[in-house]
Amino acid sequence: MSSTELPGARALNAAAAPKVATVRVADGEKLRSVALPGLTLTVRSRPPARTGLPPALYVHGLGGSSLNWSALMAELKDTVDGEALDLPGFGDSPPPDDGNYSVTGHARSVIRFLDAGDRGPVHLLGNSLGGAVCTRVAAVRPDLVRSLTLVSPALPELRVQRSAVPTGLLALPGVAGVFTRMTRGWSPEQRTRGVLALCYGDPSRVTDEALRHAIEEMERRMSLPYFWDVMTRSARGIVDAYTLGGQHGLWRQAERVLAPTLLVYGRKDQLVSYRMARKAAAAFRDSRLLTLPEAGHVAMMEYPETVAKAFRELLDDCGRS
Say which amino acid occupies 220. Answer: R
3-state secondary structure at position 163? helix
Residue 5 CA to residue 229 CA, distance in Å, equals 10
pLDDT in tens, 52-106: 999 999 999 998 999 999 999 999 999 999 999 999 999 999 999 999 999 999 9
User: What does the DSSP 8-state code read for residue 21?
Assistant: S
Residue 237 CA to residue 232 CA, distance in Å, equals 9
Which residues does 229 contact at the CB level (< 8 Å), separation at least 6?
A: 6, 9, 12, 89, 95, 176
Measured over the CA atoms of residue 25, residue 28, residue 29 and residue 30, the dihedral's sign is: positive
To which CATH superfamily is domain 19-317 assigned?
Alpha/Beta hydrolase fold, catalytic domain (3.40.50.1820)
Residue 23 CA to residue 156 CA, distance in Å, equals 32
Pairing of strands 39-45, 145-151: unpaired
Helix (H) or strand (E) holding 309: helix 304-317
Specify the higher pLDDT residue, 120 or 21.
120
Say which amino acid occupies 45. Answer: S
pLDDT of residue 248: 81
Residue 95 CA to residue 223 CA, distance in Å, equals 15
pLDDT in tens, 242-294: 887 777 899 999 999 999 999 999 999 989 989 899 999 999 999 999 999 99
CB 144 within 8 Å of CB 120:
yes
Question: Domain residue spans in the chain?
Answer: 19-317
Residue 88 CA to residue 300 CA, distance in Å, equals 22
3-state secondary structure at position 51? coil
Residue 92 CA to residue 62 CA, distance in Å, equals 14
∠ CA 299-270-289, rounded to 5°:
45
pLDDT of residue 34: 97
- 314 to each of 88, 119, 166, 177, 273, how far by Cα in Å? 29, 20, 35, 44, 23
pLDDT of residue 170: 39
Residue 173 has pLDDT above 60, yes or no: no
Residue 167 has pLDDT above 50, yes or no: no
Kindly indicate the confidence band of residue 321, based on its pLDDT and cuts at 50, 70 and 90.
Answer: low
- 304 to each of 97, 128, 310, how far by Cα in Å? 35, 16, 10
Convert 53-117 into a string of H (helix), E (strand) and C (coil). CCEEEEECCCCCCHHHHHHHHHHCCCCCEEEEECCCCCCCCCCCCCCCCCHHHHHHHHHHHHHHH
Taking the model in full, what pTM does it have?
0.87
Kindly indicate the confidence band of residue 21, based on its pLDDT and cuts at 50, 70 and 90.
Answer: low
For residues 304-309, average pLDDT: 98
3-state secondary structure at position 261? strand
Residue 38 CA to residue 191 CA, distance in Å, equals 32
